[in-house]
Amino acid sequence: MERIQESKLAHLNTKQSLWDQVFTVAPLVIIGTREDDKYDLAPKHMVTPIGFGPYFGFVCTPRHATFHNIKDTGEFTVSFPKPDQLVFTSLSATPRKDSCSNYDIVFESLPMVKALNRDLPIIEGAYLYLECRCLKILDGFDDYAIITGEVLAAYADSQYTLVSERDKDKQLRQHPLLVYVAPGRFATITQTFNFPFPKDFER
């Protein structure tokens, strides 16, 4: 096997954030937590299902309230917003500062409702919701950690569920997906194609 041609490559600086040097695509979600009698929402894009079972994980840092809220309560929610909820998703990242009331003003403007089974916040109108119990927190990634959870309940907008008799292309055209294009961009997915799996492929 020949080595890749270096002349076609741009070397990335591994001492800086790799993910600020090239575009990558990721889901965009809002994590909901509770702090005493208050609620907190935070957008995240470094997120992923873990395996094909009811497990979910995302990257967080002890510098954020989300991290400590989950450590204290052992639970969190995940809302997958729709494209028309981009502004709400962005506003949920408003920094919380004790000396400034802007956070409370912004937070009260978000379409927040309570999850079906837990005293935790979710964003009304999202297309997918997860209610999770914190499973493990894996640290050691500089000042970041991976928070993993077991999904105890999940529910979705019925227009977004996969039903065999639905035309998938038409479904996504009518009900598009919001994705984060790091760093600092977003996209709306309205067109997809069948993936060319090899014959007899099994996951």
C-alpha to C-alpha distances, 43 to 13, 24, 85, 159, nearest whole angstrom: 26, 17, 12, 23
Q: Is the dihedral of CA 10, 185, 49, 170 positive or negative?
A: negative
| CA separation for the pair 10, 29 (Å, rounded) | 31
Residue pLDDT, tens place only, 46-61: 999 999 999 999 999 9
Q: What is the pLDDT of residues 78-115, one digit of tens each?
A: 999 999 998 878 888 777 665 455 566 666 778 889 99
Domain positions in the chain: 22-189
DSSP 3-state of 19: helix
pLDDT of residue 101: 52
Superfamily of domain 22-189: Electron Transport, Fmn-binding Protein; Chain A (2.30.110.10)
The pLDDT score that the predictor gives to residue 104 is: 65
Going from the C-alpha of 23 to that of each of 107, 141, 192, the distances in angstroms are 30, 21, 19
State the SS3 of 36-102.
CCEEEEEEECCEEECCCCCEEEEEECCCCHHHHHHHHHCEEEEEECCHHHHHHHHHCCCCCCCCCCH
For 89, phi then psi, to 5°, come to -60, -45
The tally of CA atoms less than 13 A away on the side-chain side of residue 28 is 30
Token pair listed for 137? 């927190």
Chain centroid to Cα 116, Å, comes to 19
Please compute the mean of the pLDDT values over residues 178-193 and round it to a whole number: 95
Q: Are strands 144-156 and 29-35 parallel, antiparallel or unpaired?
A: unpaired
Average pLDDT of the chain? 91
The single-letter DSSP state of residue 122 is E
Give 126-139 pLDDT, tens digit per residue.
Answer: 999 999 999 999 99
